[in-house]
Amino acid sequence: MKPAISPNAPPEVGAALQKLRLARGLTLEDLSRIAGVSKSMLSQIEREKANPTIAITWRLANALGVAISELLADGEKNVETIRVLDAHETPTLPGNHAGYVLRILGPMELAGKHEWYELTLAPGGELVSQAHDPGTSEHLTVLHGTMELEVGPDRKKVKHGGTARYPADHPHAIRNPGKTEAKALLVVIHR
């Protein structure tokens, strides 16, 4: 017989966290990096050895692309037909030191297969990437401003409305050579 849970007891988020993390194919290390929460803290939460603060719960929900209520639910929930993420719920990878902001638009369960992002580059900002796995390609559509793309020795400018398709299994960089902010959609397809 399961012991009765006090109505004043904190919610047990460990099982929900682990289920959502595994459904997205994420390791503890992956989620730690995306959410900015230590791997040891995540492990303790999943084993119900620690209860996360509201701030940590919010970060985990954003990283997993779910509402906080999904982490706090008691296991029974209705399946949503349409799931809308508000702007503040979209996980973001800030690269302020390099002048970029990368918003993760695609669901976490597709990471490593198909990924899409909103890339914002400050004037002079850049997103520099090492070579991805063999066969990986990227598709960059500039929504505002102009971006310069460098793949190996090749460089091309991509203007507002233009799309560049290129192999991402080589070192590559996306830069904003302009004097105003530039914005693009970036799709990464892994083979």
Domains of the chain: which residue ranges?
A: 14-72, 90-189
pTM value is 0.62
* Least confident span in 45-49, 94-98, 101-105, 174-178: 94-98
Give Cβ neighbours of residue 22 (< 8 Å, ≥ 6 apart). none
Four-point Cα dihedral 78, 83, 88, 93, nearest 10? 110
Q: How confident is the model at residue 117 (pLDDT cuts 50, 70, 90)?
A: very high
pLDDT of residue 108: 75
- CATH of the domain spanning 90-189: 2.60.120.10
pLDDT digits (tens, 9 = 90+) for 39-64: 999 999 898 888 888 888 888 988 88
Give Cβ neighbours of residue 147 (< 8 Å, ≥ 6 apart). 121, 140, 157, 158, 174, 175, 176, 177, 182, 184
Q: What are the tokens at 66?
A: 């779910």
What does the longest C-alpha to C-alpha distance in the chain come to? 67
Instruction: Return the top range by mean pLDDT from 25-29, 59-63, 121-125.
Output: 121-125
Q: Is the pLDDT of residue 11 over 80?
A: no
Q: What are the tokens at 145?
A: 């401003």
- CATH of the domain spanning 14-72: 1.10.260.40
Sign, CA dihedral 24-96-165-168, equals: negative
Q: How confident is the model at residue 30 (pLDDT cuts 50, 70, 90)?
A: confident
* Least confident span in 4-8, 86-90, 160-164: 4-8
The mean per-residue pLDDT over the stretch 133-153 comes to 96
